[in-house]
C-alpha cells in the first residue's frame, strides 16, 4: 500500500520508474564502536549515472516501509541511501521505543551529525557498485529525519541541496551556526502543533543570520507527518495534497540544484 500511494503521489513528477527493476541492498558500515546498516536503493535497469540522495527516515529508523518509500521516490531519477543513525542494535517497533531513540539523538547533536556524515560516507563508498553521480549529491529527511538533515546543514556540509519534510526546526544553542553552505528547502504543515510559530521564527532568523540559501514552505491544512502515507493519528496524519505538492517541490528544488553541479 505504501509504495502504491507514494507512486501515485510522484506519478508525473519525474521520479517514478519501473518499480520491478528497483534494487535494494543492505550496506554495513561502522562509526567508532557502533555497527550500522543502511540500505542502498536504485533502479538497476540502466547503468546511467544519476544524482544521489541521502535519506534519513522518521523516528522509526530503517525498516521495510522506509525501503518502499525510497523505491517510490528514487524511481529512475535518483540513487537513494537510507541512513541508519541509531545503529543496528536499535530498531524501534512502537512510538515509545522510537521516541526514546530519537530523543537520545537530540540530546547530543554532535553524535547525530557524526552518524549522518558516516552514512553519507558509506553512500559515497558505493559509487563503484551503483550508478551514483558523486558530483550531484543531496539529502532528504522525514520528521526526525528532516531535523537530522538540517543538522547536517548546520554542521557545514556542502551538498547540492537539503530538503526537510515536516522536520523539527529547533536548533541546539550549544551548537551555534555561523554559516550554512547548502541550499535548504524546509516544508512544514501549517497546522503542525509540534512546530510552533516561535520555532519557525527562530529558524528563519537562524537561516538569515547564517546567510543560508533557504526556502520555508507552509502547507495549509496539513499537520505533522503529512508526507508519511501510513501516518493516521491525531497530530500526525498523511495529507495527500500536501504530500504531492511537497514531492513536486522537492523534485523542482533538486532539478535546479543539480543543474548547477
Q: Report the pLDDT value the prediction gives residue 260, as an integer from 0 to 100.
A: 83
Question: Which residues constitute the domain of residue 123?
Answer: 2-259
Q: Which residue has the cell 548546520?
A: 154
Alpha carbon 79 to its chain's center: 13
pLDDT in tens, 83-117: 999 999 999 999 999 999 999 999 999 999 999 99
State how far the Cα of 51 lies from the Cα of 137, in Å rounded to an integer. Answer: 6
CATH number, residue 147: 3.40.50.1820
pLDDT at site 118: 98
- In this structure, how many other beta carbons lie within 10 angstroms of the beta carbon of residue 107? 10
C-alpha closest to that of 25 among 68, 72, 81? 81
| Cell numbers at 171, concatenated | 536548533
What distance in Å separates the CA atoms of residue 241 and residue 249, rounded to the nearest whole number? Answer: 12
CB 192 within 8 A of CB 222: yes
- The 3-class secondary structure across 177-214, one letter per residue, is CCCCCCCEEEEEECCCCCCCHHHHHHHHHHHHHCCCCE
Per-residue pLDDT tens over the stretch 185-223: 999 999 999 999 999 999 999 999 999 999 999 999 999
CA distance 220 to 197: 14
Work out how many domains the chain is built from and give that number.
Answer: 1
Measured between alpha carbons, how far apart are the two ends of the chain, in Å? Answer: 36
Whole-number Å distance between alpha carbons of 172 and 199: 12
Question: Which three three-digit cell numbers place residue 189?
Answer: 504543515
What pLDDT does residue 67 have? 97
Q: Determine contact, residues 142/57, Cβ cutoff 8 Å.
A: yes
Please list the ranges in the chain whose pLDDT falls under 70.
Answer: 1-20
Cα dist from 140 to 87, 148, 162, 215, whole Å: 19, 9, 6, 14
The burial class, CB within 10 Å (0-12 / 13-18 / 19+), for 182 is buried
Amino acid at each position: 500500500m505504501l509504495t502504491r500511494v507514494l507512486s501515485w503521489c510522484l506519478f508525473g513528477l519525474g521520479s517514478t520508474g519501473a518499480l520491478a527493476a528497483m534494487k535494494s541492498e543492505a550496506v554495513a558500515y561502522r562509526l567508532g564502536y557502533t555497527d550500522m546498516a543502511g540500505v542502498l536503493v536504485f533502479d538497476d535497469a540502466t547503468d546511467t549515472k544519476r544524482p544521489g540522495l541521502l535519506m534519513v527516515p522518521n523516528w522509526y529508523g530503517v525498516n521495510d516501509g522506509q525501503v518502499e518509500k525510497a523505491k517510490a521516490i528514487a524511481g529512475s531519477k535518483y540513487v537513494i541511501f537510507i541512513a541508519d543513525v541509531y545503529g543496528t542494535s536499535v530498531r524501534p517497533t512502537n512510538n515509545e521505543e522510537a521516541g526514546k531513540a530519537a530523543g537520545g539523538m537530540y540530546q547530543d547533536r554532535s553524535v547525530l551529525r557524526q552518524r549522518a556524515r558516516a552514512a553519507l560516507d558509506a553512500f559515497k563508498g558505493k559509487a563503484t557498485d551503483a550508478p551514483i553521480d558523486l558530483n550531484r549529491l543531496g539529502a532528504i529527511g522525514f520528521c526526525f529525519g528532516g531535523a537530522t538533515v538540517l543538522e547536517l546543514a548546520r554542521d557545514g556540509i556542502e551538498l547540492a541541496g537539503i530538503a526537510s519534510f515536516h522536520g523539527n526546526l529547533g536548533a541546539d544553542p550549544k551548537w551555534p551556526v555561523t554559516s550554512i553552505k547548502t541550499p535548504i528547502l524546509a516544508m512544514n504543515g501549517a497546522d503542525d502543533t509540534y512546530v510552533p510559530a516561535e520555532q519557525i521564527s527562530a529558524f528563519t532568523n537562524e537561516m538569515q543570520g547564517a546567510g543560508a540559501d533557504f526556502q520555508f514552505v507552509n502547507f495549509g491544512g496539513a499537520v505533522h507527518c503529512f508526507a508519511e502515507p501510513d501516518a493516521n493519528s491525531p497530530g500526525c496524519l498523511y495529507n495527500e495534497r500536501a504530500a504531492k505538492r511537497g514531492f513536486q517541490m522537492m523534485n523542482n528544488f533538486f532539478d535546479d540544484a543539480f543543474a548547477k553541479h
